[in-house]
């Protein structure tokens, strides 16, 4: 999409999100007490909050520009991206279909209950076929068109080169809030969050901790960055740690939960669920810088799920 054809992001959420110190959590994972900060992207304001809202400001603008009447996206059953897509669709007066992997559970709990509360339709893609999710998305898009509507399909995790501009915005906020920050550590799922931060802060300051959501995170990130005008970064400069994937995406992290601050009450006001975002403390524990690291960590969670990214200012690696 040409730069001059890109719509302005829609006004969703509350910005900038705050940055808070986390001294006890820092000490628990071997950092200096003043080395760890949390970027509270759980406080974005809409639909339970979360980092996906930054990207949905851009994809939502594209959907409106295309005359969409319904948003369609994909994810795991407890996807935070799916939850926020449902909330954005409700705010914009659009329909919403969420194509979720696996079998429909007997009881809708967690994000599934919130999806339905926002008015989203849930479609399930079960079975072993590798393209089953894509086929179901295509079927749902045809159904919307057959009913006289205009579907707009948002990619997995809400990540595209255009949507990643939402995390260029985040990087700009961080530079104003934490002057001189050295490193940002972020969980790598669909890649848009890291792409935007790399585009703003540079590859030398951003570390991604792979969660196993995509087969080739480095290629995914490189493709996202290539689509951002003037933002190309050589692959060999991208910092992605693959040592915390464990059994894969949406499974418990390898680090013992209490070592990464879960349950969180004794450590910090935000929680670090060990299924996805909890992997970044595993990276911190295994990092060669250890307790000598200083850092700023945008890291965010809410009771509805883990919703954010992590940053470390001051580490010299």
- How many Å apart are CA 264 and CA 62, to the nearest integer? 38
Query: How would residue 147 be classed by pLDDT, with cut points 50, 70 and 90?
Result: very high
Domains 3-50+160-306 and 52-158 share a fold: yes
**3-class SS letters over 169-184:** HHHHHHHHHCCCCCEE
Q: Chain-centre distance of CA 166, in angstroms? A: 11
- Report the b/e string of 93-111 with b at 16+ CB within 10 A: ebbbbbbbbeeeeeeeeeb
Say what the pTM is.
0.83
| Domain spanning 52-158: CATH 3.40.50.720 | no
Active-site residues, by number, are: 79
Residues 66-88 have pLDDT tens digits of: 999 999 999 999 999 999 999 99
How many other CB atoms are there within 10 angstroms of residue 20's CB atom?
16
d(Cα 253, Cα 138) in Å, to the nearest integer? 33
| Reported confidence tier of residue 26, pLDDT bands at 50, 70, 90 | confident
Q: How would you class 303 by CB atoms within 10 Å of its CB: exposed for 0-12, middle for 13-18, buried for 19 or more? A: exposed
Nearest to 101 by CA among 70, 78, 67: 78
CATH classification number, 3-50+160-306, choose in 3.40.50.1100, 3.40.50.720, 1.10.357.10, 2.60.260.20: 3.40.50.1100
Which pLDDT score is estimated for 280?
55
pLDDT tens-digit readout, 174-220: 999 988 888 898 989 999 999 999 999 999 999 999 988 899 999 99
Question: Residue 32 has what pLDDT?
Answer: 86
Task: Grade residue 128 by pLDDT with cuts at 50, 70 and 90.
Answer: confident
Element (H, E) at 279: helix 279-286
Asked if 39 contacts 311 with a C-beta cutoff of 8 angstroms, the reply is yes
Q: Residue 4 gets which letter from DSSP? A: G
Least confident stretch, 35-44, 118-127, 242-251: 242-251
Query: For the chain, what are the domain ranges?
Result: 3-50+160-306, 52-158
How do beta strands 305-306 and 301-302 pair? Answer: antiparallel
Query: Other C-beta atoms within 10 Å of 169: how many?
Result: 17
pLDDT at 251: 61
């Amino acid at each position: 999409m040409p730069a001059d054809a890109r719509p302005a992001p829609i006004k969703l959420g509350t910005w900038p999100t705050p940055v808070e110190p986390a001294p006890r959590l820092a000490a628990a994972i071997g950092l200096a007490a003043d080395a760890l900060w949390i970027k509270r992207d759980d406080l974005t304001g809409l639909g339970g909050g979360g980092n996906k809202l930054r990207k949905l400001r851009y994809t939502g603008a594209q959907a409106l520009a295309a005359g969409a009447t319904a948003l369609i996206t994909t994810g795991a059953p407890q996807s935070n991206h799916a939850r926020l897509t449902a909330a954005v669709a409700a705010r914009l007066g659009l329909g919403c279909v969420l194509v979720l992997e696996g079998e429909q559970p007997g009881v809708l709990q967690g994000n599934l209950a919130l999806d339905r509360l926002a008015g989203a339709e849930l479609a399930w893609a079960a079975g072993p076929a590798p393209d089953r999710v894509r086929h179901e998305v295509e079927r749902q898009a045809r159904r919307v068109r057959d009913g006289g509507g205009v579907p707009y399909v948002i990619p997995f995790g809400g990540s595209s080169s255009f949507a990643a501009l939402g995390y260029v915005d985040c990087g700009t906020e961080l530079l104003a809030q934490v002057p001189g920050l050295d490193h940002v550590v972020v969980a790598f799922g669909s890649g848009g969050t890291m792409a935007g931060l790399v585009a703003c802060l540079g590859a030398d300051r951003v570390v991604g901790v792979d969660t196993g959501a995509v087969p080739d995170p480095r290629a995914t990130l490189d493709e996202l960055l290539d689509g951002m005008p003037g933002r190309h970064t050589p692959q060999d400069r991208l910092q992605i740690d693959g040592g915390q994937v464990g059994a894969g995406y949406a499974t418990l992290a390898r680090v013992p939960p209490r070592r990464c601050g879960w349950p969180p009450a004794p450590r910090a006001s935000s929680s670090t669920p060990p299924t996805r975002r909890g992997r970044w403390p595993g990276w911190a524990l295994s990092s060669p810088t250890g307790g000598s690291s200083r850092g700023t960590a945008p890291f965010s969670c809410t009771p509805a799920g883990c919703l954010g990214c992590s940053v470390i200012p001051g580490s010299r690696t």
